[in-house]
Chain A
Amino acid sequence: MEFHKATLDNGLQIVAEQSPAAHSVAVGFFVRTGSRDETQEVSGVSHFLEHMVFKGTDRFAADDVNRIFDEIGAKYNASTSEEVTLFYGAVLPEYLPRIFDLLAEILRPSLRTDDFDTEKKVILEEIGRYEDEPTFTAYETLMQTHFAGHPLGQCILGTVDSINALTADQMRGYFNQRYLAGNITLAVAGNFDWDEVLALAEKQCKDWPAGDPGRTVTEAQPPGGIEVITNPSSHHQHIMQMTPAPPSSHPDRYAAELLGVIVGDDSGSRMYWDLVDPGYAEMAEMSYNDYDGSGVYLMYCGCAPEQTAENMRRIETIFHEVNDKGVTEEELTQAKNKVSSRIVLRSERPMGRLGALGSNWLYRGEYRSVEDDLNVIAGITSDDIRRLLDEYPLGQTTTTAVGPLESLNGEVS
């Protein structure tokens, strides 16, 4: 593994991790923009724009974009979160110049009005598709409630109303503000030649406008609360909770990840043994999610409505016990083994490495090899977990429920 980095004159940052034994190469443009960077009147524009990027430029029409990706056998996609819009693909090494040409080209999209009008229907379908899923409704409501008054509470997809009202001009304005070279990180992982990557980036991206719109980052101070959405046609009760956890730049983020595994992994965790193994819940999990300047523990439990109250108490008990007594050495060792093995397995594919490579740079301006991560994890002690719990205790700050129940009165403290 060899690491390379460079910055173009316009501010575009390039990070690359070379593994000559890989059979493929993965390329990703990480644009530091998402729903948290939107104003209320353009809610959903980041995600809509992600779709519009694939509608092409003067050089490549929408049909050409899809066709060329498929011609080179690319495994490709894009995603939009609260904070990052990512465009990525993996190809065999000989196709690196072609995928690079295509990705770099479409990142300066034409944003034609007729394409915008057609794609608007697709976005509305996507909203409709998620509306039919109670877990998605629960998550959306949870983010809005937990981060009320904070930019992280802004919805990624937008609403039917905000999308209907959005104009192509508003999208162009947002694009011009946010897709500046200084706000974009190019990450490359796998089998490639660094000089070639650098040459491609120079050729394709050097004319991108410079600048960095930045982002206001303050740690959220969640007000907390309970939000119940009664949906009689839902079979299960879906409960989600959040409580503050370390932000993405916090040194205890690895400890927080391990704590998430100990308490709420999908198997072998405290929640697994107390809720899933006995058949009280279909799913009961907790994980650590980090954002710019904020973090959360996200808990999900899906179960029969009549078991909700009992399950909420079980979860509360687990949280109290962990806050009071910490975790055992055995649990910590087990979590380290699980997490280390996951990192190694995920990292075997360039596509699996790309996310970590890009995010480490985007969020923290640092490169971390697989070995670096494994070493940090190996070194975490139960004292670290104790310190973390003192600063960020587990809890049930914000709760949302979607399902047949009309209230959780008295069932959540």
Chain B
Amino acid sequence: MQAQDIRTTQLPNGLTLVMERMPDVRSAAFSMLIPAGNIYDPPGQEGCAAVLSDLITRGAGDRNSQQLAFDLDNLGLQRSESASGSHLGLSGATIADRLPDVLRIYADIVLRPQLPADQFEAARAGIAQSLHSIEDEPRQKAMQELRRRSYPSPWGLPSDGNLEGLSQLTADTVRAHYENCFRPSETILGIAGNFDVLAIQGLVEEYFGDWQDKPVPTVEVSDWAPNISHIEHESTQTHIGVAYESVPYRDEGYYNAWAAVNILGGGMSSRLFTEVREKRGLCYSVYASLSALRDQGRVFCYAGSTNERAQETLDVMLAELQRLPEGIEEGELERCKAGAKSSLIMQQESSSSRASAVARDWYHLGRVTTLDEVHQKVDALTVPSILKYVDEHPADNFTVLTLGPESLEVNLGVS
């Protein structure tokens, strides 16, 4: 694998800058993770981080909302702002030579946002609109509700909050969220693409160097236990979500966990796809994936079947999840490895993928794993190592969420 040119530096105020130079691309991308996600929403005012992620680009420095959008568009920046559990994320990609101008504007967005009070209602209305719109997307709704039920609150809560919380929110609360949470320590700026590393480092130091650090806000985490629930919904299909515990990214068992999930439901030759769709034709979409927070992880499985076939689908899914400890074929592992290898190499074709990967790595591990390292870890996987992991972390204690006209039975130990 081609050697990577990665440089990490920490500013005196605590901001971590991780850069990867990619000489073969014409673009540059950044991913900035600010520790101001929706876990910091004040209880009863959920949706605060989401509104802030909208309001943050409605004017910054001496540019008003329209000027800011206009200048970023003129730089050809493809951008997004979003709240997730831990972070408020800002990201973007454009032609590499425009990166310095982009960074200058983002320093304004992060350090000097106007957060105009007269646009608060519009930002809140926008988030309320997306809360309504997910009601018309039962698949996404089911997985959002599964996630909520699978992690202790506030982890797993929908990033857009809820309508009740939004209605209690004020412009002052949102401003306070910014004041309390936006801080350089624990902020990670990942940049990848074709640029002069030293020059960009100098600009980041200049633009973000005088950002003052603040104390870390506290978060109260609730108790949690696996649970089974149903949401009634008039629909043609019943949407089925199943979750169980796994390990976080920094756990030494992570790669085994990843392989196990991939064998179960990663691709079109995976067990769930083969058993549920290919052999029985029970659904169009079925998969399993690994979700990793910094300190905990879950496996999320999904299938959607027309109502009269949904019970069989859930039965087959659960049977497959429980059958994994019985054995894994060499070929299944080889396919996992091949998929991982090509994903790793193809990542090097996209500055956006690399920018978010280096930022995410730093958040989870406090360092960046090179693609070579990942490759070695994937290569080191064996059937016994995965089975040992599965034995220690069996698929059980399921959290199940179904969404459709009628609830289903959770039949365990049936195959």
Contact = CB atoms under 8 A, between A and B. Distances in A.
Contacts of A350: 349
B323 interface: no
A333 B235 contact: no
Contacts of B277: 122
A349 B348 CA distance: 9
B117 to A, nearest CB: 14
Contacts of A54: 268
B345 A125 contact: no
Given A126-B284, A233-B234, A348-B27, A91 B342 contact: yes
B133 A267 contact: no
Contact of A23 (B94, B138, B348): B348
Interface in A217-256: 233-236, 238
Contact of B342 (A74, A273, A279): A74
A233 B232 CA distance: 12
Contacts of B328: none
A341 interface: yes
Interface in A340-372: 340-342, 344-345, 348-350
B346 A67 contact: no
Q: Which bracket fits the contact residues of B?
A: 35 or more
Interface in A255-289: 267-268, 273, 276-283
Contacts of A149: none
A365 B200 CA distance: 43
A135 B136 contact: yes
A73 B341 CA distance: 7
Nearest to B266: A70
Given A63-B269, A267-B69, A349-B346, A279 B281 contact: no
Contacts of A70: 267-269, 335, 338-339
Given A66-B269, A70-B269, A133-B136, A21 B24 contact: yes
Interface string B256-275: 00000000000111000110
Nearest to A337: B76
A234 B132 CA distance: 9
A125 to B, nearest CB: 4
B269 A67 contact: yes
Nearest to B304: A129
A349 B349 contact: yes
Interface string A102-146: 000000000000000011111011101101111100000000000
A128 B305 CA distance: 8
Contacts of A233: 233-234
B269 A345 contact: no
Given A63-B274, A67-B331, A341 B95 contact: yes
B242 interface: no
A135 B129 CA distance: 15
A69 B268 contact: yes
B307 to A, nearest CB: 9
Given A70-B267, A70-B335, A279 B126 contact: yes
B73 interface: yes
B25 A279 contact: no
Contacts of B236: 128-129, 131-132
A205 interface: no
Interface residues of A, number: 66
A338 interface: yes
A203 interface: no
A194 to B, nearest CB: 20
Contacts of B130: 282
Interface in B274-317: 274, 277-285, 304-306, 309
Contact of A282 (B78, B132, B285): B132
B137 A133 contact: yes
A69 B269 contact: yes
Nearest to B135: A235
B66 interface: yes
A120 B281 contact: yes
A396 interface: no
A36 B338 CA distance: 38
Contacts of A120: 281
B381 to A, nearest CB: 15
A41 interface: no
Contacts of A67: 269, 331, 335
Contacts of A276: 126
Given A72-B338, A268-B73, A125 B269 contact: no
B246 interface: no
23 contacts: A62-B278, A66-B273, A70-B268, A73-B338, A73-B342, A91-B342, A118-B278, A118-B279, A122-B281, A124-B306, A125-B282, A128-B304, A131-B235, A133-B136, A133-B137, A133-B138, A236-B129, A238-B136, A282-B126, A334-B70, A337-B74, A342-B78, A348-B26
Interface of A: 21-24, 54, 62-63, 66-67, 69-75, 90-92, 118-122, 124-126, 128-129, 131-135, 233-236, 238, 267-268, 273, 276-283, 302-304, 330, 333-334, 337-338, 340-342, 344-345, 348-350
Interface of B: 2, 24-27, 65-66, 69-70, 72-78, 93-95, 121-126, 128-130, 132-133, 135-139, 233-237, 267-269, 273-274, 277-285, 304-306, 309, 331, 334-335, 338-343, 345-346, 348-352
Given A24-B349, A118-B278, A344-B26, 20 more contacts: A21-B24, A62-B278, A67-B331, A121-B282, A125-B282, A125-B283, A125-B306, A277-B122, A279-B124, A281-B129, A282-B130, A282-B133, A303-B129, A333-B74, A337-B73, A337-B74, A340-B76, A341-B78, A348-B350, A350-B349
The 9 closest A-B pairs by CB, nearest first: A279-B125, A341-B76, A121-B281, A73-B342, A282-B129, A73-B338, A235-B135, A279-B122, A126-B284
